[in-house]
A = this chain, B = another copy of it.
């Protein structure tokens, strides 16, 4: 795994042990698909990073400089891979106060593409419910203990993902993916204004698919849906075949949608 660490715009050998990313999760990340040595969805990832940085009051590095660093790392990368970016507020500051923190820390790392999942997916419901925090919702920040605890609820390799409810009992997302349900001729996905992450694949679908929309979804809505899928920026669309006892046959429209996103993701 190739890793590069920067303090401000300068390469450094390692992350400082006093980094606020480690101390408080005071930062953001992006997990990006590398295809044909490029980042097909970079503009969307960068836009989300910029929105998160504005929300946290964190200074993101200049885009040109960032793109040069990504290009240098990608030059030695396999054609298909995953590139992870972590941006933190750097070291220091007075306790929680961000005033006085040093220059931001940037970590870029290359990882092998995860093994393909033999779709359709098998899901379970998680017990943990996501807390409602409008100040952080939607952003891909580094406070991910809820996802870690939810993912720790099962260790059965035949279960691929877990669906999470929010504190009010509405469907929110999977531990590492957004969810869409086919209901009354539309692809519906939960809002991300109180919890959850505004996924890049989710945004692509809401933007490109005329019958995709945001909606509040109950567990019963999801279980009675005509079809169900998860999506994220690394794996694209993943049709769901089973959720607990509920099973779905392959869905014709979903197959076409998954193929369309797959072509875009693999195009580089």
Whether A266 is near chain B, meaning CB under 8 Å from some CB there, is no
Residues of chain B contacted by A244 (CB below 8 angstroms): none
**CB-CB nearest in chain B for A98:** B152
A137: min CB distance to chain B, Å: 10
Whether A19 is near chain B, meaning CB under 8 Å from some CB there, is yes
Is there an interface contact between A96 and B147, defined as CB atoms closer than 8 Å?
Answer: yes
Residues of chain B contacted by A144 (CB below 8 angstroms): 23-26, 96, 143
Is there an interface contact between A167 and B22, defined as CB atoms closer than 8 Å?
Answer: no
Residues of chain B contacted by A88 (CB below 8 angstroms): 22
Whether A176 is near chain B, meaning CB under 8 Å from some CB there, is yes
**CB-CB nearest in chain B for A13:** B14
Query: Please, what's the 1-or-0 string for A243-259, where 1 marks a CB less than 8 Å from any CB in chain B?
Result: 00000000000000000
Residues of chain B contacted by A116 (CB below 8 angstroms): none
A231: min CB distance to chain B, Å: 15
Is there an interface contact between B25 and A24, defined as CB atoms closer than 8 Å?
Answer: yes
Q: Which chain A residues in 25-39 approach chain B with CB under 8 Å?
A: 25-26, 29
Is there an interface contact between A98 and B128, defined as CB atoms closer than 8 Å?
Answer: no
Residues of chain B contacted by A26 (CB below 8 angstroms): 144-145, 148
Is there an interface contact between B99 and A152, defined as CB atoms closer than 8 Å?
Answer: yes
A111: min CB distance to chain B, Å: 9
Whether A15 is near chain B, meaning CB under 8 Å from some CB there, is yes
Query: Please, what's the 1-or-0 string for A1-30, where 1 marks a CB less than 8 Å from any CB in chain B?
Result: 101010000000111011111111110010
Residues of chain B contacted by A135 (CB below 8 angstroms): 128, 146, 149
A-B contact pairs, 23 of them (CB 8 A): A1-B18, A14-B14, A20-B148, A22-B22, A22-B142, A23-B144, A24-B142, A24-B143, A24-B145, A25-B145, A56-B149, A57-B152, A96-B175, A96-B176, A98-B148, A128-B135, A131-B131, A131-B133, A131-B167, A132-B132, A133-B167, A135-B149, A142-B145
Interface residues of A (CB under 8 A from B): 1, 3, 5, 13-15, 17-26, 29, 56-57, 86, 88-89, 94-99, 107, 109, 114, 128, 131-133, 135-136, 141-152, 155, 167, 175-176
Q: 13 extra interchain contacts, Cβ-Cβ under 8 A, other than A15-B19, A142-B145, A143-B145?
A: A1-B18, A5-B17, A17-B109, A22-B22, A22-B142, A24-B144, A56-B145, A95-B175, A96-B150, A97-B148, A97-B151, A131-B131, A135-B149
